[in-house]
Chain A
Amino acid sequence: MKLQKNIPLVLFVFAVNSLVMGCGGKEEPSTQGAESEGKKETTTSEATSPVDMATAATINGKVLFEGTTPKMKKIDMAAEVTCQQMYPEGPRTENVLVNENGTLRNVFVYVKEGLGDMEFPTPKESVLLDQKGCRYYPHVIGIQAGQPLKIRNSDPVAHNIHPKPKNSKSFNISQPVQGMETTKKFSKPEIMVPVSCDIHSWMSAYVAVLDHPYHSTTGTEGTFELKSLPPGEYVIEAWHEEYGSQTQTIQVGEGETKEINFTFKPET
């Protein structure tokens, strides 16, 4: 009797549970996913932030691509059928991704100089680096030194995460189980820490480690935004894995929003 009475309750708990779990499971890792986490950082509204939000400025803009879009090399994923299946048109490398609007994806834009001695609190929330379809999402990611980097394996295959930092300690850990997550940190700033998987030689990601929160990676729209900047003069660098880096110096006043664009073209 007792049990029967409880059935609706049990069912309800179960339904809520599966709803919650379902949502968690459906979380689609994408370049956007980490960008949203990245945005969290750029809004340095924490009490300990040295920035006066009332006078904070913004620098935003686009990264344009000029020239013929290079064709990316095919990746032979035959050894990992479960990954290969995720690319109906066949997997290709991601070194150069030109968006439909003529902008360049995966360009890391950050404040290179201009913050002086300002010290920024280390964010406690982690940044996600996901492995899905034998690829890293996002391909280029920015974090602060000491900020947790959560590395997840969403694949049913084994990956090993093997970053090769020069300034921080490296590590090489195995994630042979689907869903496994490992949290690691890089202690010192470095542009860029290459991340690779020895098991799948085509896998590559770049982690930018900074001592401040002002960075942004271009996505499908090719835009970037550096918010909550104290007014001042900055050297902004745009980094791309194939085309190197470019810098621009820009001054922003109190509460000002300024736009700058970068243009990358393949060497001819």
Chain B
Amino acid sequence: MKKIFLLLVGLAFKQRRSSILCVLLAPAAGAGVLCVSAVNSLAQDAKIPETPENIEAGRKIYQESCIFCHGEKGKGEGHIADYLWPRPRDFTAATFKLRTTASGEVPFDSDLFQTITNGIPGTAMPEWGSLLSEKERWQVIHYIKTFAQGDYDEPPAKANLGKKIGASKEIINEGKILYALMKCWQCHGKEGRGDGPSAYDLKDEWGFIIPPADLTQGWKYRGGSRVEDIYTRFSTGMSGTPMPDFTDAAIFLNREGYQNLTPFEPVYTEEELQEIKTYIETLPTLEELGGFSEEKKAELSNRRRWALAHYIRSLITVEGPNGDVVIKSEEVEGDLPMDPDNPLWEKAKPLIVPLTGQVITKPRWQIPTVQTIFVRALHNDQEIAFLVEWSDPSQDTLHEGSDWPSVGQTSTVDTETEDTYPLLSRRENPAGSRRDALSIQFPTKIPVGPQKPYFFWGEKGNPVNLWHWKSDWQVDLERETPIEKFLAKGFRQWPEPEPPESQNVEGSGIWRKGQWRVILKRSLTTEEKEIQFEKGAFIPIAFQAWDGSNGEVGYRMSLSSWVYLLLPKAKSLRVYFNTLLGVILAVGFESWLVRRVRRKKN
């Protein structure tokens, strides 16, 4: 069972590829036609008939491939459902996030086909497109629909999906204002990091905690991150979740509706509000709106939804983990920047490191906040600094108790602790009682060959160091550094702090608009028995993160596997020597030439 679980989780972290079906059909459907709708019009109904034979074939496929998560009765209560988050879909409700049908409607068969084919990014649902034939996928759809028999009797109403409007600077700017006016920030946060004022209380229709999407992390958009996907999501809503349908709202924008801008004031600056007000002036009045034809209203709604989609697309800064595993440190002259806003950091390309919940030891943790971090490194001839950035909707800078939950019992870990994944509401877990934290993990020496310490806090005889940055130390002005160095000899015991004289990691971090940006710095070489940053070597490096207000402490954390740090070797001196020689010769020749010319003149 564990193997299946790991396989599924592994699959889930694969990046979503664009739908082959879509690519194939789009040219056939002609220019200007939405890819999504093209698929719909051609394949709203299953390609193979809903016969008892096909349903039976679907049942067999379901029992081989789907039952572990979705359960025998389709209620989303399979054997490993409790270990997954988000939880597997309950098919008996016929409620699906990813549809091209109107809000509250069941999906088209083709919508289910898309989901099964492409999988759902950021969840355990893999891409079955490469695992099941097209026929098998249709068969399994016929079977899945039997779990909610009556619900599919009536054909669903199609969502109001209009003609695509291309990206332009102008439309993205309009989208930015619409993001404000449609109050997307209420849940998704002003910068889109899922840190809006209503972000913490959200539950799905089954009562499970559901945080709003971090819109900067496109590779985790459940329905895909193409602009068409984004457009479809708020044109249909995501059934079963708090995400509503915005089609009508996009029609209804009017001047009178925005007379009171008080709700915007805590979020938007004076300058931004001015921009918003200017836009409101361009909106129709209620009376004008009443006079618009249905056609005109549909056109308005469509344009605004595309504008919003293009803007949200623009919030995705990096495409996502791309298989790279090497942080390439860049060499700089002079002091290393300790301010994350310093433009020097631009010089270093960030590595995107995926993190998952810690599920190796109890208490396991399946709902971590920090699932992706961006890491950059810079070094000079003396030191190396890392800039680590991650989305965290809340800044938690208080910490009750000790570093690890039960330092009193450092030798063994309480294995009796409940082995479930409690779905905590952030409100139930008062923000501030636990800190935010980050660990950078290094082996104590550069490993010879492929033998690295165990990725989770090393092992006996093969320990690791943790550079543990703590948000409560960050705000404690009496501390010289917010970072404490630990030695870990395996996850079965808590890491132990290194003696004060060995504490040599400096750092600083700031939290702004749903994001932590933390810098950690150390000398390239030290006298300690710890990692020495040799140039040209691939140095294993791993990360762990905690979000205090999500109840994360101790083993409740997210962690990465090993990636590598590389400080490129300086180019050989000969290169510099030849260049220098060239320059000297050129200068010498020129001055000789100048002198000669002058002498001749004289």
Contacts and interface: CB of A to CB of B under 8 A. Distances in A.
Given A80-B263, A82-B262, A177 B198 contact: no
A198 interface: yes
Interface string A81-122: 110000000000000000000000000000000000000000
A171 B245 CA distance: 8
Interface string B179-223: 001110011000000000110011101000000000000000000
Interface stretch (B236-244, B325-333, B578-586): B236-244
Contact of B237 (A156, A158, A169, A172): A172
Interface size class of chain A, counting residues whose CB lies under 8 Å from the partner chain: 20 to 34
Interface in B52-84: none
Contacts of B248: 173-174, 180, 182
A198 B205 contact: no
B259 A171 contact: no
A158 B187 CA distance: 11
Interface size class of chain B, counting residues whose CB lies under 8 Å from the partner chain: 35 or more
Nearest to A161: B244
A182 B246 CA distance: 12
A82 B242 contact: no
A23 interface: no
B291 to A, nearest CB: 15
Given A169-B105, A177-B249, A201 B201 contact: yes
Contact of A171 (B104, B183, B242): B104
A162 interface: yes
A176 B205 contact: no
A60 interface: no
B254 A177 contact: yes
Given A157-B263, A160-B242, A174-B244, A199 B258 contact: no
Interface string B248-265: 110011101111111100
Interface string A177-206: 111101000000000000000111100000
A261 interface: no
Contact of B187 (A162, A164, A199): A199
Contacts of A79: 197-198
A158 B252 CA distance: 13
Contacts of A174: 182, 237, 244-246, 248-249
Contact of B249 (A156, A169, A170, A176): A176
> Chain A interface secondary structure, helix, strand, loop or mixed?
loop
Contact of A162 (B183, B242, B252, B263): B242
Contacts of A158: 182-183, 186, 263
A82 B263 contact: yes
Nearest to A170: B104
Interface in A118-170: 156-158, 160-162, 164, 169-170
B366 interface: no
A126 to B, nearest CB: 16
A200 B104 CA distance: 20
Interface in B254-308: 254, 256-263, 266, 286
B474 interface: no
Interface string B98-129: 00000111000000000000000000000000
A176 B187 CA distance: 12
Nearest 9 CB-CB pairs, A to B? A198-B242, A158-B183, A171-B104, A177-B257, A156-B260, A174-B244, A160-B244, A201-B201, A172-B244
29 contacts: A79-B197, A81-B263, A82-B262, A156-B259, A156-B263, A157-B263, A158-B182, A158-B263, A170-B104, A170-B205, A171-B104, A172-B103, A172-B104, A173-B244, A173-B249, A174-B182, A174-B246, A174-B248, A176-B183, A177-B252, A179-B256, A179-B257, A180-B249, A180-B252, A198-B187, A198-B198, A198-B202, A199-B186, A201-B198
Interface of A: 79-82, 156-158, 160-162, 164, 169-180, 182, 198-201
